[in-house]
Amino acid sequence: MYSGAAAGPPRRDFISVTLGPEEAVGVGGYNNSKAWRRRSYWRKWKQLSRLQRSVILFLFAFLAACGVISYTSMGEAWKSITNKSLDDQRTEQEILGLKLANPAVLPAPQKADANHGDYLELSLQKPPKPPHVRGPSNLQIKAPRRDTRLKTRPDTMRAVEELVEADKVEKTEKSVISWRGAVIEPDQSTEPPSSKITEPEKPSSVELEDQKEPMPINERQLAVIEAFRHAWKGYKDFAWGHDELKPLSKSYSEWFGLGLTLIDALDTMWILGLKEEFEEARKWVANDLVFNKNVDVNLFESTIRILGGLLSTYHLSGDSLFLEKAKDIGNRLMPAFKTPSKIPYSDVNIGRGTAHPPRWTSDSTVAEVTSIQLEFRELSRLTGDEKFQKAVDEVMKHVHTLSGKNDGLVPMFINTNSGQFTHLGVYTLGARADSYYEYLLKQWIQGGKKENELLEDYMRAIEGVKKHLLHRSEPKKLTFVGELAHGHFSAKMDHLVCFLPGTLALGAHNGLAADHMKLAETLTETCYQMYAQVETGLSPEIVHFNLHAQKGHKDVEIKPADRHNLLRPETVESLFYMYRFTGDKKYQDWGWEILQNFNRYTRVPTGGYTSINNVQNPSNPEPRDKMESFFLGETLKYMFLLFSDDIDLINLDKYVFNTEAHPLPIWVPA
Ligand code: DMJ
């Protein structure tokens, strides 16, 4: 209670505001004029004590302040709710494969260091994205659509859950992989480092077509998926993280100790839509793949399988982890080029940074030094570091000028000191020379068909093949590619040569002579006969063709030392190209026969497939106990693509396959 001075009106310690009817209605009756009301309120106000007035004023002020504060914070909260739901929608859309109006882009070629002068200025088309941004490739493809048996959405959601888990573990990486569709970025040029900056092009109609829904998977493709899963099961159970599976002994073998099969198989899993397997393998790459190892690797093999595999997986998935790994291995392989001639050594110690030729010679194999270019050139384009491309371009320029060729055909060896061909006079399209020819054409395609020396060398070589190496067998008159040794023709043909029909067809598709396509057709038939004429329906490593008809003899003869089959891809590879370019279903049927025979004679019940020693003995093909990494990297991938009618599933106007079946972008797509 408040007790005030005795004199004066008593003070009240409460506020009483009574608005009775007599206050509202004046003596003169109802008067609701504004002036009257103002006067009346004012009178009331004046009647209040000072304390009462202060309290009322304070209350008004307090309420007004509260109003202002709550208005501002509600606005913020609303804004963040709205943004969050937009973000959520975006993530979900990406995960579900929906095209965004404003898609992320492939990280532009990155600057390796600041001092590359003119070259770099030309090479960089766009400022690099911040490293944490995982953009999809400008040539990213859609994972194929499965039919109802292979449920896409649950798969996707499971993959997402795993990814969330993985993210917790891998704090450094944000790893939501986008399984979304072909996104051809209108603002991305894929020009090589050495070419001029061009204005970004709008997506062509062909590019826009890429954004169509992928086709559903058919029965034969499902059979390939099943085969892949069976192979993968063996690898996972007995060889996880090692180079190759030994499916019979349920163990593994090491070559480089770098998880070769796993890396070789990454983009195949992507293309087949095997999301869970892919994610599991990705985790291994993120956590366990280490290149800082005191180990000798073969430059060619590690380039085509590891560097190529990582680069293509980067392009398909848009996941920068793979580019980082590619850069790492690419840098570690560079010491191979430190030779007197700049022709690289065959072997590099990727931990020590030293390189050397094989112990018995200072020669390198011609195919090996001329079939690493697609990968190193692409690495330069992506990183903005010219050194990779420079090193491999120099090799090609040098080989272009060399003497010792025979109408464009090259010998099999080249000396790392002198830079000259050695062992002159022997010419083959098989082992040690094969992919030299393949990469002439494919580099020309990769670079936008501008590098004329490559085309010249390719065209001349095919003329050389026609002139010196083509013959016909008896009795079926199959055209085959033999070998020439010091002027003597040999009717020997490696299975490896069966890459040639596919390459010829690719050249014809890119505008080269139409007779290349004719030759491709006849040679594909021959390669198929190398399977069909054998007891198991599987080709041996090497065949000899009969040049003269002999009673009871087929076209194909096999020597005991050559009757093994290593699960090689070349014939299936050519079948794939031929089907893509002709649409003739017989190529699919031939591939289907081959897949069934692989299943019959090379499949190991406990998981995996094995090389065999004897393709001529169906009752005992003599399993070798080894699954080569290229069975997953190449053979099954080409099978899957062969059985697809979707030309956008690795569109051949946008991608070029390296010699290990890893698709890399064509810099200036048709
Ligand atoms: C693969 O490593 C590559 O295809 C290479 O070009 C040749 N050998 C094997 C497959 O047979």
pLDDT tens figures, 297-341: 999 999 999 999 999 999 999 999 999 999 999 999 999 999 999
Query: 117: buried, middle or exposed (CB in 10 Å: 19+, 13-18, 0-12)?
Result: exposed
Residue 67 or residue 495, greater confidence: 495
Other Cβ atoms less than 10 A from the Cβ of 628: the count is 23
Q: Name the residue ranges covered by the structural domains of the chain.
A: 228-256+367-663
Catalytic one of 570, 628, 646, 660: 570
Over residues 98-122, mean pLDDT = 29
Clarify whether 570 is annotated catalytic: yes
* 650 C-alpha to ligand 1 centroid (Å): 20
Q: CA distances (Å), 204 to each of 161, 209, 445, 647, 654, in order?
A: 36, 9, 18, 16, 12
pLDDT at 669: 76
Probe target for ligand 1 pocket from 372, 564, 660, 662, with the most ligand atoms within 8 Å of CB:
660
Integer Cα distance of 263 and 258 in angstroms: 8
Catalytic one of 434, 483, 555, 634: 434
Over residues 403-431, mean pLDDT = 98
Ligand 1 atom at minimum distance from 495 CA: 11
Catalytic one of 209, 301, 474, 653: 301
pLDDT in tens, 588-640: 999 999 999 999 999 999 999 999 999 999 999 999 999 999 999 999 999 99
Is residue 380 scored above 60 in pLDDT?
A: yes
Query: Is ligand 1 within 6 A of the CB of residue 435?
Result: yes
In the chain, the percentage of residues whose pLDDT exceeds 90 is 67
Query: Is ligand 1 within 6 A of the CB of residue 330?
Result: no
| For ligand 1, atom 6: residue with the closest CA | 659
Report the predicted TM-score, pTM, of the whole model to 2 decimal places. 0.74
Query: Is ligand 1 within 6 A of the CB of residue 568?
Result: yes
- Mean pLDDT in the chain? 79
Ligand 1 atom at minimum distance from 661 CA: 4
Query: Is ligand 1 within 6 A of the CB of residue 630?
Result: yes
Q: Where are the alpha helices (DSSP H) in 25-184?
A: 34-47, 50-95, 117-123, 152-169
pLDDT in tens, 195-206: 332 332 332 333
pLDDT in tens, 241-288: 999 999 999 999 999 999 999 999 999 999 999 999 999 999 999 999
* 309 C-alpha to ligand 1 centroid (Å): 13
pLDDT at 38: 53
pLDDT at 59: 72
Over residues 484-505, mean pLDDT = 99
Under DSSP, the state recorded for 129 is: P
In the chain, the percentage of residues whose pLDDT exceeds 70 is 69
Tell me the binding residues: 659
For the 228-256+367-663 domain, the top CATH level (class) is mainly alpha
Over residues 504-514, mean pLDDT = 98
Query: Is ligand 1 within 6 A of the CB of residue 659?
Result: yes
Is residue 86 scored above 50 in pLDDT?
A: no
Integer Cα distance of 250 and 261 in angstroms: 15
Under DSSP, the state recorded for 335 is: G
Is residue 134 scored above 50 in pLDDT?
A: no
* 499 C-alpha to ligand 1 centroid (Å): 9
Clarify whether 244 is annotated catalytic: no
Q: How confident is the model at residue 561 (pLDDT cuts 50, 70, 90)?
A: very high
pLDDT at 213: 77
Residue 392 or residue 160, greater confidence: 392
* 495 C-alpha to ligand 1 centroid (Å): 10
* 308 C-alpha to ligand 1 centroid (Å): 13
Helix (H) or strand (E) holding 400: helix 387-401
